A and B are shown apart, each in its own frame.
Chain A
Amino acid sequence: MSKKSFRQAINEAMRLEMRRDPRVIIMGEDVAGGQGGTSGVVDAWGGVLGVTKGLYTEFGPERVLDTPITEASYIGAAAGAAATGLRPVAELMFVDFVGSCLDQIMNQTAKFRYMFGGKARTPLVIRAMFGAGFNAAAQHSQALYPLFTHIPGLKVVIPSSPYEAKGLLIEAIRDDDPVIFLEHKVMYDDEEEVPDEAYTIPFGEANLTREGDDVTIVAFGRMVKLANEAADKLERQGISCTVIDPRTTSPLDRDTILDCVADTGRLVIVDESSPRCNMAADISALVAEEAFDALKAPIRRVIPPHTPVPFASVLEALYLPDAAKIEAAVKAVMNHKVTEAA
């Protein structure tokens, strides 16, 4: 047990699983970096943000494969390798690049098992970083998890802390289905205590980071931290919140969300993804359908506007959910007055 960053936790998950299972391989753009350069240095980058650093040195070129910048072919190759005996972890760098390889994910990987009558196993993990907050603008900042969640056959994981990231990534690598593993790029230097050993966190079980009586907040990834910040502040003002980190959007732990809404009667959903057809909309529909009678106030969604992610800091800050917006939403549902029908 020691303090590890989000980046280290993810690196350690891959390292431990590569040691444990020779079928686990890593591939992606510059996951080592430097091959073909004039300095002769390999493992120059270890991924564009250094997440795979050192894996090439330990496992060599047969298991840590740099790819050309051709997402369709190497994501497809990862799927083909997964279907034929390897357990690849492919890095898509920025999830925004899925536009270049969506067919291989959506039409190939996700559908093998179903359309082949249950005969395929595709133990593939696609890691990608997502999210806004780095002035990376419209093509490098999206939170595209609803896109993957929409596709049957994929599992979608959004870790909210270093501990969560390590356990969920090891679970993903050992899972026999294709898993999209999305890392918020602003979180790589976040630190917390993380066991040195391998451990797994099951998919489809939400984590309650706190329990309260008044309002249920559902948040994803980095938003979990912001929701807890808001809840800390609200606690001092006498409003107690439950904060749910679903951990995975597919499968989604519907029961925990519904149980908590039944307890608190109020729901705020914090979702960094574009607002139309996002997780906030999905969960709102779930609660409206299954827990309508428990609601004491309308559901509130803390979501960005229906725009691309802007570049300038002032606009990006406006765009993103933050603790203050969450706090305001919680107060709004607390202050809702039920008007009795005449």
Chain B
Amino acid sequence: MQIARETLLRSYRAMRTIRDFEERLHVEFATGEIPGFVHLYCGEEASGVGVCANLTDNDTISSTHRGHGHCIAKGVEVSGMMAEIYGKSTGVCRGKGGSMHIADFSRGMLGANGIVGGGPPLMCGAALSHKTLKDGGIAVAFYGDGASNEGTTLESLNLATVWKLPVVFVVEDNGYGEATGSSFAVAGTQKDRAAGFGMPYLECDGSDFFAVYQTAGEAIAHARAGNGPIMLHVHLQRWYGHFEGDAMTYRAAGEVAEAKRDHDCLDLFRKKVTEAGLLEHAELDAIDEAVRDEIESSVVAAKAAPLPEPADLLADVYVRY
């Protein structure tokens, strides 16, 4: 498979940005300075980035409560995201959404979503817009193995098939819905579920950027060509708890350590591209350095940014009321 050098560099940078963003939040959240709660995407970076590397700003995605990675992968600005998570007026949602509601319509990012299973119906609608307006775009619904059981998701698989919509259903399967394992909560298989709707199904190893990029590329090409919806099942490992502060007592000792040791998407990426002579270590190091600076300055800026004004409380409930 040929992947353009720019795509490789951009994708590595996106994965590194997600990783550093989330690791920094892990640290900063513990200080108590971040309001509310956050759900981290560490360990799953290659999934969001590998899928979104096949998309343009004209394509639309919906995300989940674990949405920071999808935002960064879709090109949402890091400084605005960080300020949002700090609840500042410079945030991408002016401090009114927070971690679970980051959205940037100009990037085709229709929002992280605090409701499990909230996104798939919305992506049926975005796909309908793309199809009706004939703008060449497609829609991608990211959702977890937990959300794969929601009625909204199953209804959406049906509706998208009935209407032959250009939508890719990406199941990010990290094996846990909150604290309950998918071996308990998910009946049957994702593959059989897709088959039940007559929908094509692809799967891949989510720690391998190249596998995700290639498989997602096939899925997206299928949808873009007007062949209707398709399911992409990405197998993943979640490095942190469901939310920050979750001690993950439901996971066996060593499970996460093994994931970090053997399935770190960034390590695997670096190994592969340097061994294949596609990129140099020095280039990747330079990206690491730049991302460190970017995250650092985004945190500094977010902490210094002004709080929302009292008048913001009443603003933007309606376009006009």
Contact = CB atoms under 8 A, between A and B. Distances in A.
Decide if A and B touch, CB cutoff 8 A: yes
A10 to B, nearest CB: 23
B126 A81 contact: yes
B122 interface: yes
Contact of B93 (A25, A86, A119): A119
Indicate the size class of the contact surface on chain A. 35 or more
Interface residues of B, number: 48
Interface stretch (A1-9, A61-69, A280-288): A61-69
Contacts of A84: 60, 110, 125-126, 129-130
B104 A80 contact: no
Contacts of B159: 67-68, 70, 73-74, 77
A77 B125 contact: yes
A303 interface: no
B121 to A, nearest CB: 2
Contact of A103 (B118, B126, B321): B118
B167 to A, nearest CB: 10
B304 interface: no
Contacts, number: 159
Contacts of A80: 62, 110, 121-129, 139
A80 B109 CA distance: 12
B30 interface: no
B252 interface: no
A78 interface: yes
A69 to B, nearest CB: 10
B316 A117 contact: yes
Contact of B321 (A107, A117, A251): A251
Contact of A117 (B96, B114, B133): B96
A118 B316 contact: yes
B102 to A, nearest CB: 8
Given A73-B155, A80-B110, A107-B114, A113 B317 contact: yes
Contacts of B158: 68, 70, 73
A75 B113 CA distance: 17
Interface of A: 23, 25, 62-63, 65, 67-68, 70, 72-86, 88, 103-104, 107-108, 111-121, 152-153, 155, 175-177, 204, 251
